[in-house]
Amino acid sequence: MTVSQNFNDWMLSNQRAIEDALSSYLPSVQQVPARLHEAMRYTALDGGKRVRPLLVFAAGALFDVDAGLLTRAAAAVEMIHVYSLVHDDMPCMDDDALRRGKPTVHVKYDEATALLVGDALQAQAFTVLSEGNGDAVRTLAMIRLLAQAAGSAGMCGGQAIDLASVGKSLSLPELEQMHRLKTGALLRASVFLGALCGKMLEPGEEAALDAYANAIGLAFQVVDDILDVTADSSTLGKTAGKDAADNKPTYVSILGLDASRQMAEKLLEQAQSALLPFGSKAERLNQIAELIVHRNA
Which residues of the chain form contacts with its own copies (CB under 8 A)? Answer: 27, 31-33, 35-37, 40, 83-84, 87, 90, 92-93, 110-116, 118-120, 122-124, 126-127, 130-131, 136-137, 139-140, 143-144, 146-148, 150-154, 156-157, 159-161, 163-164, 177
CB nearer to its own copies: give 150 or 226.
150
CB nearer to its own copies: give 177 or 230.
177
Q: Is there a contact between 154 and 181 (Cβ–Cβ < 8 Å)?
A: yes
CB nearer to its own copies: give 135 or 230.
135
In the complex, what is the shortest distance from the CB of residue 266 to its own copies, in angstroms, rounded to a whole number?
A: 26
Pick from 20, 40, 21, 19: nearest CA to 29? 40
In the complex, what is the shortest distance from the CB of residue 66 to its own copies, in angstroms, rounded to a whole number?
A: 14
Cα(78)–Cα(86) distance, integer angstroms = 12
Each residue of 51-64: b (16+ CB within 10 Å) or e? bbbbbbbbbbbbbe
CB nearer to its own copies: give 132 or 283.
132
169: left (phi over 0), alpha (psi -120 to 50) or beta: beta
In the complex, what is the shortest distance from the CB of residue 16 to its own copies, in angstroms, rounded to a whole number?
A: 25
CB nearer to its own copies: give 17 or 161.
161
In the complex, what is the shortest distance from the CB of residue 119 to its own copies, in angstroms, rounded to a whole number?
A: 5
Helices (DSSP H) in 133-278: which residue ranges? 136-150, 155-165, 172-179, 185-196, 203-230, 233-236, 242-245, 251-255, 257-274
Point out which residues pair with 98 in neighbouring strands.
103
In the complex, what is the shortest distance from the CB of residue 157 to its own copies, in angstroms, rounded to a whole number?
A: 5
